[in-house]
Amino acid sequence: MKYTENALSIFALGGINEIGKNMYVVQYEDDIFIIDCGGKFPDESLLGIDLIIPDITYLEENQDKIRALIVTHGHEDHIGGIPYFLRKLNVPIYATRFTLGLIELKIDEHRLRGDSKLITIDSNSRLEFGSVEISFFKVSHSIPDCLGIVFHTPEGNVVHTGDFKFDLTPANNQYADIHKMAEIGQQGVLVLISESTNAERKGLTPSEQMVGSHMDEAFIKARGKIFISTFASNVNRVQQVVESALRTNRKLALLGRSMVNVVNVAIERGYLNVPEGMLIDASEVDKLPAEKVAILCTGSQGEPMAALSRLASGNFRDVAIYPGDTVILAASPIPGNEKDVSKIIDNLFQIGAKVIYGSGSTTGMHVSGHGYQEDLKLMLTLMKPTYFIPIHGEYRMLHHHRMLGESVGVEKGNTFIIKNGDVVDIKNGTARQTRSVPSGDTYVDGIGVGDVGDIVLRDRKQLSEDGMLVIVITISKGDRKIISGPDTITRGFVYARDSDEMLKEVNRLVTKSVNDMHAENIRQWNVMKQNIKKSVGQYLFTQTKRKPMILPIIIEI
């Protein structure tokens, strides 16, 4: 069967074989719909990089076909890339009230509000774009106002679940609309696109209510100040902290810019109920008895500049942790952050604080917002899809999700485990994956977006490992002889005073290289620089077993 441009196409530009950077695309004929636009934080190998966002080359090349960016919920891995996306593509953004509040914070920070078109939707909204109609359904997650999406196309219905779990006693009373999901399944689902984060974990995800009772217990037992660190966006968890503080007659202070911003948005839009007079400024904490104060702060992932990290190292201006204070980490580390979190926990124990951390039944201060195996199987059973595309996870998670799908009736061969950029085309009810579109990582470094590539990162890695050597020579324009130098400057390679003989030999080798090329009448600067790099590099490696970056600078007078 020949597949043409007017097939239904589904692909990811981020979020597959990784945690974070979520961006998915559903295209029918000349209508492109984007789902989410997230970022992810770099690992330690990406020196100096602040954020990683999806490569949107395909969308830029087809911008006249883009109808909407639809955002499922307000977590960073789903909205973090929006300001950078809007600089290149001014597309209408559809999201719920709370999610839009968080997006507005971001675009205001980047001064993009004037040009942006933000449209509020809810689970009852219906959008029409030519032959495609879009509807929504409520899902439970660890942030308010989360949606799943249904694309009603002439080919059939495509369902994107968003991030979800089935919490029958949610802390915010935002129940998953299981009846509506069942109705969607009854109508027929051609493709289900479903998240896979916890596909390896057996059972059902514990309810958020479990955290509330453990939080109360910790507050009752605590004698000094209580510090609680969690994701600012986990408004359900913040509400539980507010209620525990109220029950134990404690005032609440907020530390960290994102915590203050998100709490303000949540209060203003009615998603967080904080009694009047409960919130106090950080400067008031030390004026009250320790047992009358709780402090809610950012930094649960070990971020070095976040409030908890600065508190743990004694570098926060207005507030300090003292022996006997209680510190609660009400979030589990994202994969890759474990080392940073462990370091902070060590520092807190050294101060003498009582530290409560870890998830599950041991401490009960955190439950996942993502469905375990039984939640994922329930979604698959409700939707009964013909085709299944697991997303939002590393390869092993996608693999386990495929096995779960097959265990509840998805036909073998009808699950597509794809990579970012792989396109699943569906025509006349038959799906194939035979082509791909450009995809990859775009690095944000300071105000630069996409201007740092592999070569720059390779240079940074070399500089960080072996340092650099700058060799400055002044050459006569007329007879091509050395007038002054070579002068050698070293940074991060060796201490110059302790390596006098070696650097003298470097200067001798440089002089010899220049004189040899003069004798052979070689005048090209690039050839001269390459020869200097080669001779000096070989010598330094034999002496030190290091490969510093060598930068010859030739000045002609």
Report the catalytic residues: 195, 370
Q: Which amino acid is at 513?
A: S
Question: Cα–chain-centroid distance for residue 410?
Answer: 31
- Residue among 125, 188, 127 nearest 157 (CA): 188
Answer yes or no: is 366 a known binding residue.
Answer: yes
SS3 category, 24: strand
Answer yes or no: is 77 a known binding residue.
Answer: yes
The residue to which tokens 């508190």 are assigned: 311
Q: How far apart are CA 227 and CA 357, in angstroms?
A: 12
Token pair in block for residue 507: 């200067």
- Give the residue ranges of DSSP H helices in 62-197: 76-79, 82-88, 97-109, 178-187
User: In which element (H, E) is residue 533 found?
Assistant: helix 525-544
Answer yes or no: is 141 a known binding residue.
Answer: yes
Find all residues with CB under 8 Å of 435, minimum gap 6, and list them: 423, 425
Answer yes or no: is 50 a known binding residue.
Answer: yes
Answer yes or no: is 518 a known binding residue.
Answer: no
- Per the CB < 8 A criterion, the answer to whether 407 and 380 are in contact is no
Tally: H helices and E strands in the chain: 15, 26
Q: How far apart are CA 213 and CA 217, in angstroms?
A: 6
Answer yes or no: is 422 a known binding residue.
Answer: no
Answer yes or no: is 392 a known binding residue.
Answer: yes
Answer yes or no: is 266 a known binding residue.
Answer: no
What is the three-state SS of 359-411? CCCCCCCCCCCCCCHHHHHHHHHHHCEEEEEEECECHHHHHHHHHHHHHCCCC
Q: What is the DSSP letter of 7?
A: S
Answer yes or no: is 152 a known binding residue.
Answer: no
Answer yes or no: is 160 a known binding residue.
Answer: no
Residue 113 CB: number of other CB atoms within 10 A?
12
Q: What is the DSSP letter of 515?
A: H
Answer yes or no: is 139 a known binding residue.
Answer: no
Q: How far apart are CA 359 and CA 328, in angstroms?
A: 11
Answer yes or no: is 214 a known binding residue.
Answer: no
Q: How far apart are CA 366 and CA 238, in angstroms?
A: 12
CA–CA–CA angle 436, 437, 438 (5° rounding): 130
- Residue among 182, 148, 140, 185 nearest 164 (CA): 140
Answer yes or no: is 163 a known binding residue.
Answer: yes
The tally of CA atoms less than 13 A away on the side-chain side of residue 464 is 11
Q: How far apart are CA 209 and CA 212, in angstroms?
A: 5
Answer yes or no: is 233 a known binding residue.
Answer: yes
Answer yes or no: is 179 a known binding residue.
Answer: no
Answer yes or no: is 451 a known binding residue.
Answer: no
Binding site per annotation, positions: 48, 50, 73, 75, 77-78, 141, 163, 232-234, 366-370, 392, 445
Binding site per annotation, positions for Ca(2+): 48, 50, 445
Binding site per annotation, positions for Zn(2+): 73, 75, 77-78, 141, 163, 392
Binding site per annotation, positions for substrate: 232-234, 366-370
